[in-house]
Amino acid sequence: MTDISIRVTGSAGRITFTRPKALNAMTYEMCMAIDAAMRAWMDDARVKVVVIDAEGDKAFCAGGDIAELYATGRAGDFTYGRRFWRDEYRVNAMIYGYPKPVVSFMQGFVMGGGVGIGCHAGFRVVDESSRIAMPECGIGLVPDVGGTLILAKAPGKIGEFVGLTAHRLMPDDAMIADFADDLIAHAEWPSLIERLETGDDVSVVAGRAGTNAAAVLADHRAQIDRHFSQPSLPAILESLAADDSDFARETLAALKRNSPLSMACTLEILRRLREEGPTIQSALTLEYRYTWRSMEHGDFLEGIRAQIIDKDRNPRWQYADGQVPQAAIDAMLAPLGEDELTFE
């Protein structure tokens, strides 16, 4: 497969995204190749560590390849998307609980499906170019691939802010929000990977400090916590509208671009995860309930049309006034019965 390179080099199982011209967007076939390799390496005595990286300067993985999702959904076939998400989420859970060390090296854009592969690793390395984001609310989804677990465990209300606004996290912000662990200059990555391949302990990538550069999450933490601690989406919008700061105005503008149904359901997922005690399985289960329904009942197809297909940037969202009924939220997150996500 030309889109991904999977091999064993020395002591390391190596997974490298190799479609940089497509920002290493992940196809279903790439996802399944990762699944097969990592299952095989569990019992392979040669493999002491798994290293995940990507070719190119612009992106580790900018998300899933959504062309087929959109085409099948528009044709009224929701089966392909549901299978894609189901199998992808199982891979995310496997990476999170993998019995051997997993190290991800994430440069450039890390979004959507890229978060699911790279940000559940035990050791997550970024460089100065890294930009991590969960932009799903802008296309009618909720933060998925287990991203709601990271958001629910982030300090204060950072999770609500990052999940609802699709804010791009610079390296220091990514570490504050717990999407990354260590900032290491990109020029050092080849030698570090070589050391991992030759048997060095994963501690060679651990313990690197941030840049101490200004971070949005640190600089605006009080405002984030005040506005995003409001109990509902309308209350958050009202709180931001009453704040005449540049930060509040920019944040409000970001929210108004996104799907109200998606944002309201994201808030509900984070609330439920915190109340129940967040786990990767519970996060993925709630996310899958939403994505399973997202084409038929949500805003996903309209979001892709507006952002990717027609590019008019004028989506016609449900509940465009921000007043999303609790019944609509509950319906999107209701159990799926025999279609509920499992992790076998």
Instruction: Report, in this order, helix, strand and coil percent for the chain, each rounded to 5.
Output: 50, 10, 35
Domains and CATH numbers, the chain: 1-344 (3.90.226.10)
Residue 113 annotated among the catalytic residues of the structure: yes
Residue 118, Cα to own-chain centre: how many angstroms? 9
pLDDT at 213: 65
Q: What is the pTM of this model?
A: 0.96
Two structure tokens written together for 71 = 């085409």
Catalytic-labelled residue, pool 13, 53, 63, 64: 64
Residue 330 annotated among the catalytic residues of the structure: no
User: Cα–Cα distance between 297 and 291 in angstroms, integer?
Assistant: 10
- The DSSP line for 130-152 is -EEE--GGGGT--S-TTHHHHHH
User: Cα–Cα distance between 132 and 172 in angstroms, integer?
Assistant: 11
Residue 212, Cα to own-chain centre: how many angstroms? 24
Rg (CA), the chain: 19
Catalytic-labelled residue, pool 136, 160, 182, 299: 136
Two structure tokens written together for 34 = 């990762």
Residue 136 annotated among the catalytic residues of the structure: yes
User: Cα–Cα distance between 43 and 211 in angstroms, integer?
Assistant: 39
Q: Per residue of the chain (344 residues), what is the pLDDT tens digit? A: 689 999 999 999 999 999 999 999 999 999 999 999 999 999 999 999 999 999 999 999 999 888 888 999 999 999 999 999 999 999 999 999 999 999 999 999 999 999 999 999 999 999 999 999 999 999 999 999 999 999 999 999 999 999 999 999 999 999 999 999 999 999 999 999 999 999 999 999 987 766 656 678 989 999 999 999 999 999 999 999 999 999 999 999 999 999 999 999 999 999 999 999 999 999 999 999 999 999 999 999 999 999 989 999 999 999 999 999 999 999 999 999 999 999 97
Catalytic-labelled residue, pool 113, 118, 122, 146: 113
Sequence-separated (6 or more) residues with CB below 8 Å from residue 327: none
pLDDT at 273: 98
pLDDT at 212: 59
pLDDT at 42: 98
Q: How far is CA 90 from CA 145, 274, 281, in A?
A: 9, 22, 9
pLDDT at 210: 64
Residue 127 annotated among the catalytic residues of the structure: no
Q: Is residue 139 a contact partner of residue 258, using CB atoms and an 8 Å limit?
A: no
pLDDT at 312: 93
Catalytic-labelled residue, pool 127, 144, 173, 182: 144
